[in-house]
Amino acid sequence: MSTHRLRYSKLRRTCYSETELNNIFERHSRTLLDQKRKMINELNEWADNLIRRIEQNLVKQKNLVEHEYQLQSSYLRRKQQAYLDSTLEYEEQKHRHEVRQLLERCRTIKFQLASFDYPEQMIPFIQMQPKQQSNRDLLTLNHRNVHHTKTRASNCMTTDDIRDEKCPVCFMIFSLSMTTTDRAQHVNQHFGDS
């Protein structure tokens, strides 16, 4: 049987402080979940607003393209009519050379819609900035872990607590050859004779 099964197969005693501790951390867990949901909602709102702004610009630019097309198309029809009138006059007067020149000018006329410009726009991207746990909180947590270890019998802790792979104070990874006593001695050395 593996040490993992041995470690967790023993029945643990439950005491008031353990139940209270579990309740406290359950409330913390719910608070974190609420914060996560709010942050996800904020991200979705940011994305929706950005997409809405892009779609508004898209509609505006399409309208401008349509307007530009209508202007150019109207100008093209007027030019066509003007050249047609001139061509008919030259044809009546039997000026074939002028007709050929007029047709050549028609071929060289360029009609083009305005082009797009791509100005750089500042897009306010959201970036997650992890919250750093304060040193005071870490020291308090580490001291409490060691205090728990030193007084494990009175606080319903078992020897399984000291069998963890890491020191609860300095987080050193214990070697597999270290006994439970060696590990407890290592933890207690952090506090000297306090």
Q: What band does 180 get if pLDDT is binned at 50, 70 and 90?
A: confident
Residues 100 and 138 both lie in one domain = no
Is residue 52 over pLDDT 60?
Answer: yes
Other Cβ atoms within 10 Å of 162 Cβ, number? 21
Looking at residue 183, its pLDDT comes to 80
95 and 24, same structural domain?
yes
- In a domain? residue 144: yes
Where is pLDDT greater, at 42 or 128?
A: 42
Residues 98 and 139 in one domain: no
Considering the domain architecture, whether residues 99 and 154 belong to the same structural domain is answered as no
Q: Which domain holds residue 168?
A: 133-189
pLDDT of 134: 53
Asked whether residue 115 is domain-assigned, the answer is no
How crowded is the C-beta side of 153, counted as CA atoms within 13 Å?
A: 0
Residues 145, 86, single domain; the answer is no
In a domain, 149, yes or no: yes
pLDDT at residue number 159 = 44
Query: What are the contacts of 155-162 at 24+ separation with CB within 8 A?
Result: 155/15, 155/17, 156/12, 156/13, 156/14, 156/15, 156/17, 156/18, 158/10, 158/12, 158/13, 160/7, 160/8, 160/10, 160/12, 162/187
Question: How far is Cα 124 from Cα 131, in angstroms, rounded to an integer?
Answer: 21
Domain stop point among 73, 108, 143: 108
Residue at 8 is within a domain: no
The tally of domains found in the chain comes to 2
Query: Would the pLDDT of 139 be above 60?
Result: no
Q: Which residue from 146, 121, 132 is spatially nearest to 53, judged by alpha carbons?
A: 121
pTM of the entire predicted model: 0.50
How far the first Cα of the chain sits from its last, in Å, is 39
Identify whether residues 40 and 102 lie together within a single domain. Answer: yes
**Of 108, 124, 148, which closes a domain?**
108
Cβ-Cβ contacts under 8 Å for 163 (sequence gap 6 or more): 7, 180, 183
Answer yes or no: do 22 and 74 share one domain: yes
Does 164 fall in a domain? yes
